[in-house]
Structure 1
Amino acid sequence: MGVKIFKFIINLVLFVVGSWVVVHISALFGVFIAFAYPIWQFILPGQLPCLFCTIKEDGEYCTVCKRVVNRAEGIDPDTLKSIILNSLLILVFSLFSIGLVLAEQKILSYLGYPPTPKTVTFIIPNKNQYPLGKIFPMKIEIAGIKTPINAVQADVGFNPEILEVVNVSTVGSFANIFIQKEIDNDNGYIRLTGGLPNPGYFSERGDFGTVYFKGITPGVSEVRFLETSMVLANDGRGTNVVKEFAFASYLILPDEITEDEKQQQEVLLGAQVLGEQTDATKMVFYEESDVLGVQEEFDNSVPEESKETCPQLILCFIEFINNLIINFWKSILGILFNPEA
């Protein structure tokens, strides 16, 4: 009993693998074979079999060739009608195979193959030395965007004994919807969450927001994008495509800015905040607060990477073959219908 089950499994695997190979070969070359079939039939008559005769037993009648099947005498198509019908059969099977390849690729995409590559990096500006009391901006900038994105969560940590956050601005951001802005000057934490609708944002780099720091004590503070930061691709799966989390050290010098400089930067910052509040192109779903140093609860847990449950190597190979076939036919159709492109 065990041997029979083992043989059945082996035969089933061979059948599935063989069927997959036949379908993909047909999807790639079947159309050419369909058009070449009548040509070869005229060049080398008697060498290609009639597909309708091959499914018949000897002695049975083939309605396409209008004859009794006799393999000893040959089963090649001997009429123009049978040649054309054989070509059409190959063509239909080829088009059906291409449809199966497209459906297979859709299923793989739904399951997460190919996985969207992690290419995005958070960037921190190089200039990092300021006098005491100076309010300076740090752009929340992302680079390496290789696929459209539609949501960003920027979590920034800093030393609250050296720096404090005066404001987090969204002026000039590529995002137009913001759902969360948290400033915690007691624990040294910032979170800005937002995005934009389909088709998302697609450029090599972009500004998501600006953090305005103020040096409150001389010393060195590390400013770091936390690993809870996320940039989600607009790939239908919300893949987090962050590759690297930037960090830098900011030196606050003991030399304090003058009273005139303090007034100037307060006026400048106030104008920027007013400009942000009157920006009608952005949708804000969080409550603004003028109180700094308010502690709010936040989640510092690092999101776990999803574990693959299927044999990744096999699925990636299938995805590679499917893309090869799909891109091949895209190129052929592009040459035929849009030769100037």
Structure 2
Amino acid sequence: MSAAEFAAANLSRATGAGLDPHEYLRVTGELADLDQWGEAFMRAAHGHLARAGQAATAISAGEHLQVAARWFHFATLGPNRESALAAAEADTAMGRALDLLEPEARRIEGPDFTGRLRGPDDAPATAVVVPGLDSSKEEFHDVVAALLRRGMAVFAMDGPGQGVLAATTTVRAGYHHVIGQVIDALGAERVGLVGLSLGGYYVAESAARETRVAAAVTVSGPFRLDWDVLPAPVRDLLIQRAGGEEAARRFSGQVDLSALAPQTTCPLLVIDGGQDVIPGVTNGEPLARLAPHGQYLHLPHGDHLLGNARPDWLATAADWLSGVLT
């Protein structure tokens, strides 16, 4: 795939994650080869770090640091010999941003996760935002912001094989063990989950097996994976995040909600885009149909992660989760 093709394929994801579209097009338009992706995105991130250092107010500095964190994260999506460094830089930049903008935000870690809890201490409900295969806690800022505006406490996390933990851990299909650790660490009696892309599977699997999950939202989440049909780039990414081809094949075979969907007794909102068509990936309609309290929102024009359709689902999902939990 050429640099231009890869950039076009990730445009709505990037803009949905808060990267300025003009800057994104400028940075990617200068790429002569896809191998330059990581270096170019890290250079853009460092530009925002410099702006933060020159900012006249803490608010401006914090905002530049948040943007830098997103650019560092997106530096990990394409070829990058320093992906581990970029992920660590994203984590550090977001931490510095929240120190300035939300000093009450807390870092919370466990054996298999790390993340930040934001929002009021007396929030009536807690939501956990779970990223996907190559996403991280720094990516879905608009989801976190929408939930915060509705008065919830929000924990954005990285689990095994994700974000800042990708360099030292591998993906795990039994994600409910991780969510159980998160709930224990948060000290919450019940939580709502929002999972995006592969995080949608993680959330659905956890909702079926962890009784303290009170509601769940999946966005572009897979119902099932078929290794033999998956496109080569997806297989390569799974191999990387699983620690080898045999482990990736085994993980792919475990991503199947056929038996778990009927066991999901909490309210469940499943959101899919009609343009999200990846060979070997079964979208979420069967999950919504088989779950006892499943609802399905299908957006015909939506792509993967629905970055091109934010007005059609984000507020709806945030209102739904807030209403169910509170």
TM-score category (smaller protein): under 0.3
| TM, length-normalised to structure 2 | 0.23
> Hey, which of these two has a bigger chunk of strand by percent?
1
| TM, length-normalised to structure 1 | 0.23
Larger radius of gyration: 1
> Hey, which of these two has a bigger chunk of helix by percent?
2
